[in-house]
Amino acid sequence: MPVRCGDGVPRTLLVDNYDSYTFNLLQLLTRQVLAGGGAVRDKILVIRNDQYPWEVVRDRILPHVDNIVVSPGPGSAERAGDFGVCMELIRSGGRPLLGVCLGHQGIALAFGAAVERCRVPVHGQISPVEIYESEGLFAGIPSGFSAVRYHSLAVSDAGFPHDQLVVLARASGTVCAFEQRRGRVQVETREIMALRHRTRPLFGVQFHPESVCSEHGARLINNFTAMTRALAPPGQPHVPASVAAMSLLALDDRAWLHPPLAEPSGPRFELVSEDVPLGLPDADTAADLGERLQALLHADDPMPLWLDCASPGAHGGQMSVMASALGAATLQFRLAGRSVTVARRDCPDRHYSLVHQESLPAGATFWAWMQDVCDQTMVRPGPDDLRFQCGWIGYFAYELKAECTGVGPGGPSPAPQPGQMPDAQLAFVDRCVVLDLASAPPRARVLALAPAHPGAPPSGAPWLDRLVAFSSREPAAAWVGEQCRRIRGWAARLGGGGPAAPNEEAAAAEPMALRPAMDRSEYLEAIERAKEQILRGESYEVCLTTQFRARPRRPIVSAAQMRRQYLAMRRRSPAPYGALLWFGAPGEGIASCSPERFLSIDRGYVEMKPIKGTARRVPRPEAGCSDAEWAADDAARARALETDVKERAENLMIVDLIRHDLNSVSDGSVDVPRLMHIESFARVHQMVSTVRARVRPHIGPVAVLAHCFPPGSMTGAPKRRTVRILDALENHAPRGVYSGVIGYVSAHGAADFSVAIRTAVVDCAGTRLSVGAGGALTALSDPKAEWAEVETKVRSVCDCVS
Ligand SMILES: C=C(O[C@@H]1C=C(C(=O)O)C=C[C@H]1O)C(=O)O
Ligand SMILES: NC(=O)CC[C@H](N)C(=O)O
């Protein structure tokens, strides 16, 4: 039963021990507040464990809250560096306090219990929980309910202070463990899963009530609320505004409100668009419609930008964008010096002309700056169903994590390497063709931007007006008309053969035999070190990666060469989030066949589709067996992936992490419409989940992206601590574009980005081609199998030698 407003909903202090699913607890608390008719920020105060000194928490915050929730977290409650003010909060007594996982371990420690390594670390596995007290915290919850666990440490039975603490629940059944010699084994588990203090209102749960796969999480939080009211009737109904302003949520909002570039003056641009239906091509033609159309428009383009949905339908992608960086103002951001440069090249053999340059002041993140630019470059919305209405196309590299306030620059930042691409690069596309594969028949939609107020005096940041090249609607419409004529002519010939898909081009790509930067033995050793961190409770899942590299015989200096590489990869592994990006710097380009959506934003909703769980798939033509045998083997591989305890645990952990990320930008509406289903690509089966949420008003697409960056599926959980562990394990080598995101922010506010995996990056003036690859590790990882998985991922797009 939700708590009734009367207003009886207590005010809660939620302490974050750093991004360990804290915002999922916030979601449970939020729902309670909303059910009571209250406003979240009046009722819930979120602070980090080291945000304020203890005296400030004690004197300024505690008097204004009714209860406290202490979040899970990496490390140990014994260490102040991991637990911050939480130990003082537990010791101070008085207010009801619920500790989750690390918080629970902290309560035990505070009263003399020992917290030790569990016999079996358990991350993302589900255990039945046996309950010994059916009132209080567990009122109405059946004994034996399922709960998700993420822990390596546990409260010890040896020397348990029974005079002070009461064991409320234990795990039962078995969990899976990995042993060096025997591999996977099932082990009985009896760890303490919940406790309470005998006389003080302190409660701890070792499991995670906020996990998407735990039962009765909301009930447990409601019980805690009910006990709070019974023990101490709530004081004032609201946290005072001055105290609410100390909350992480309020501070976070403020970080996005630094002085804007110019007063937003409504839409700066207007869209000119026209559709060309493409008729009903035969099956053969339909399969590579995108490739043919892109060839028509950009085969000779020296600077093509192509977001290519190369496997439409089955995987959700439905749209390709074909554009050029030639003539488009292109933004580059480099962390070193924190400088932004916007420049444009109108002619392939001319130099760039500078549009804008600035160094970002300390305190303003690149993300906030970019969001601001997007706010200032809005288009008066065109057709409702059009996901891309011109706007920014490009990538954000992994190292931009240093600009994310929640992740921050952990330890030494990787030194920029000579010849490396910028940390972010995006072109403002003011004209393009969108291939809409969702409509029947498919349509080419030709788009161009014109100034919404031609001839108006320039606004506060005049360079923003120069982002579009058309001076008014007429030339924009003329360009659109010309493209439509070209496409119509081509479409008329489509059925009768038309220009063939450029098979020869793909075949002409130089074969690349990639070699790993970290060889097998080094990688296996890094896996052992990662597992040691997991056993110590520092992380639950670590997505370790390395790079595979080749030195092309002839430096890749032209878009045509890169295009051949991309088409060869596309043949081998067509993906829903393909991309070919050649911004024009000689010898720098990206060819991506990513199967993974990072996030898409459309009409106030955000969707993420994290992948965790990879199994090799043998393409039919390469299997030396009958159709029936191949089909049976292929289905067995998919089924084995779907039912594998380790892969499911990995996926669950990332789903919970992504929910946490999204809960920081949503209004309590995060949900998981699809959990762990298999999507099959040419050479891999993947396990995918879908997480959705409504975005709070006034949070722009770049802000959403920044809150979820870097992609949790490329870090592991908890994100911040694990990113630091990874920096060390990967020798502080930058991951670059790999592990970052590729996609667009449309000028009408929608966005769609893939996770940059299965991606070839050319840099160092075309003398180096790299494909990053890695995989998630947990306590259940078998190192040799992990290495094989890494090779499978690389081979899904390129040949590799290892
Ligand atoms: C790290 C990679 O992939 C990530 C890890 C996966 C896994 O562990 O199963 C799957 C997809 C990606 O989120 C990669 O492709 O290099
Ligand atoms: N989820 C957590 O809070 C983990 C607590 C602690 N770091 C452990 O591994 O046991």
Q: Can you tell me the mean pLDDT for 29-38?
A: 93
Give the C-alpha separation, 566 to 759, whole Å: 9
Tens-digit pLDDT profile for residues 422-432: 999 999 999 99
Q: What is the pLDDT of residue 410?
A: 54
Query: What is the pTM assigned to this prediction?
Result: 0.96
The CATH architecture assigned to 269-406+417-800 reads: 4-Layer Sandwich (3.60)
Please check whether residue 343 is in contact with residue 354, taking contact to mean a CB–CB distance below 8 angstroms. Answer: yes
The model's confidence at residue 287, banded by pLDDT at 50, 70 and 90, is low
Does the bond joining 718 to the residue before it have cis omega, within 30 degrees of 0?
yes
Taking 50 as the threshold, does the pLDDT of residue 4 lie above it?
no
Ligand 1 centroid–CA 646 distance in Å is 14
Ligand 1 centroid–CA 800 distance in Å is 17
Q: What is the pLDDT of residue 705?
A: 97
The 3-class SS string of 252-299 reads HHHHCCCCCCCCCCCCCEEEEEEEEECCCCCHHHHHCHHHHHHHHHHC
Please check whether residue 446 is in contact with residue 276, taking contact to mean a CB–CB distance below 8 angstroms. Answer: yes
- Residue (of 133, 207, 126, 129) closest to 165 by Cα position: 133
Give the C-alpha separation, 737 to 760, whole Å: 9
Tens-digit pLDDT profile for residues 496-546: 555 555 567 788 888 888 999 999 999 999 999 999 999 999 999 999 999
- Which of 64, 118, 123, 210 is flagged as catalytic? 210
- Which of 208, 216, 298, 685 is flagged as catalytic? 208
Hey, which bits of 52-135 come out as E strands? Answer: 67-70, 97-100, 115-131
Please check whether residue 39 is in contact with residue 239, taking contact to mean a CB–CB distance below 8 angstroms. Answer: no
Q: Can you tell me the mean pLDDT for 586-590?
A: 95
Q: Can you tell me the mean pLDDT for 309-317?
A: 74
From residue 139, alpha-carbon distances to 24, 143, 164, 206, 277 in Å are 22, 10, 22, 17, 61
Tens-digit pLDDT profile for residues 147-206: 999 999 999 999 999 999 999 999 999 999 999 899 999 999 999 999 999 999 999 999
Q: What lines the ligand 2 site, CB under 6 Å?
A: 20, 72-75, 101-102, 150-153, 537
Taking 90 as the threshold, does the pLDDT of residue 381 lie above it?
no
Active site residue 358: no
Q: What is the pLDDT of residue 695?
A: 96
Please state, for a pLDDT cut of 70, what percent of the chain lies above it: 94
Q: Where in the chain is the domain with CATH 3.60.120.10?
A: 269-406+417-800
Taking 90 as the threshold, does the pLDDT of residue 411 lie above it?
no
Q: What is the pLDDT of residue 93?
A: 80
| 776 Cβ inside 6 Å of ligand 1 | yes
Burial class (CB in 10 A: 0-12, 13-18, 19+), 92: middle
Taking 50 as the threshold, does the pLDDT of residue 308 lie above it?
yes
> What's the angle, vertex CA 149, arms to CA 148 and CA 155, rounded to 5?
140
What number does the ligand 2 atom closest to the CA of 21 have?
A: 1
**Which CATH number fits the domain 12-254, given the four candidates 3.30.70.260, 3.75.10.10, 3.40.190.10, 3.40.50.880?**
3.40.50.880
Q: Can you tell me the mean pLDDT for 748-777?
A: 97
Tens-digit pLDDT profile for residues 52-83: 999 999 999 999 999 999 999 999 999 999 99
Tens-digit pLDDT profile for residues 662-681: 999 999 999 999 999 999 99
Q: Where in the chain is the domain with CATH 3.40.50.880?
A: 12-254
Q: What is the pLDDT of residue 207?
A: 98
Active site residue 208: yes
Q: What is the pLDDT of residue 501?
A: 56
Please state, for a pLDDT cut of 90, what percent of the chain lies above it: 81
Taking 50 as the threshold, does the pLDDT of residue 1 lie above it?
no
Q: What is the pLDDT of residue 664?
A: 95
